[in-house]
Amino acid sequence: MTQDISSGVRAVYAFNRAVHTQVVRHSIQLISKKGPAVKFFFRMINPFVAWLLQSRLHGLISFQLMVLEITGRRSGRIFRIPVSYAKQSDDLICLTLGENLWWRNLQDCSSATLIYKGQRQLAPVQLVVNDAAAIEAQMRMLIAHNPIDAVFAGVRLNFKLEPNPADLAVAATRHVVLRFELAKATPLVAN
């Protein structure tokens, strides 16, 4: 009888693992294609998410998302970009693909405006570019904080939600880390 139960548990575990793997794999394929539908989806939802993060309802999602306010170097236009973050000591760590253009507006800046937990602040920013080992370590921490970041980074997770080392190494070569020093941030008055 005990063997029947343990073999049944193993069968359920194997089934759940297979389903989880397929869901994560399908999500990675869908998002990593970056087709017109996915780009359109984010173009439509990002303004709503940015609005929500600036509203009194920010607590619904501000435990894992914040807004970066970036001024375009050429256009002078202000972009509000929702990003996932993880807190490390007094720093907030964000990640973006190197092929995204918006982060380049921060290359010559010593600080950036962010809306973190409903508060608008000016925080010192540091970029980590072309340092795969440092980016991989930060990416591992971000995925531990919010496993959905693995899907956006193209990193498969095992059943315990641990990142695949090979995927993590490849993803680290394609991403940029943004580190905001929250301890040195200056509160700003909302516009």
Give the three-class secondary structure for 180.
strand
Statement: residue 14 has pLDDT above 60? no
pLDDT tier for residue 20 given thresholds of 50, 70 and 90: very low
DSSP 96-140: EETT-SGGGGGTT-SEEEEEETTEEEEEEEEEE-S-HHHHHHHHH
62: which 2 tokens? 């501000």
Statement: residue 37 has pLDDT above 90? no
Q: What are phi and psi of 17, to 5 degrees?
A: -65, -40
Q: Enter the pTM of the model.
A: 0.75
**Fold held by 2-187:** Pnp Oxidase; Chain A (2.30.110)
Give the three-class secondary structure for 1.
coil
Statement: residue 31 has pLDDT above 80? no
Of 23-27, 42-46, 77-81, which range is least confident? Answer: 23-27
CB of 157 closer than 8 Å to CB of 143? yes
Residue type, 54: Q
Rounded to an integer, the average pLDDT of 131-137 is: 94
Strand pairing category for 175-181 and 91-97 = antiparallel
What are the counts of helices (DSSP H) followed by strands (DSSP E) for the chain?
5, 8
Give the three-class secondary structure for 177.
strand
**Cβ-Cβ contacts under 8 Å for 5 (sequence gap 6 or more):** none
113: which 2 tokens? 């405006």
Per residue in 148-161, pLDDT (tens digit) is 888 888 899 888 88
Please choose, from the candidates 149, 169, 155, the residue with its C-alpha nearest in 3D space to the C-alpha of residue 95: 149
Q: What is the pLDDT of residue 3?
A: 57
Domain boundaries, the chain: 2-187
Burial of residue 20, with CB atoms counted within 10 A of its CB: 0-12 exposed, 13-18 middle, 19 or more buried: middle
Q: What is the pLDDT of residue 119?
A: 92
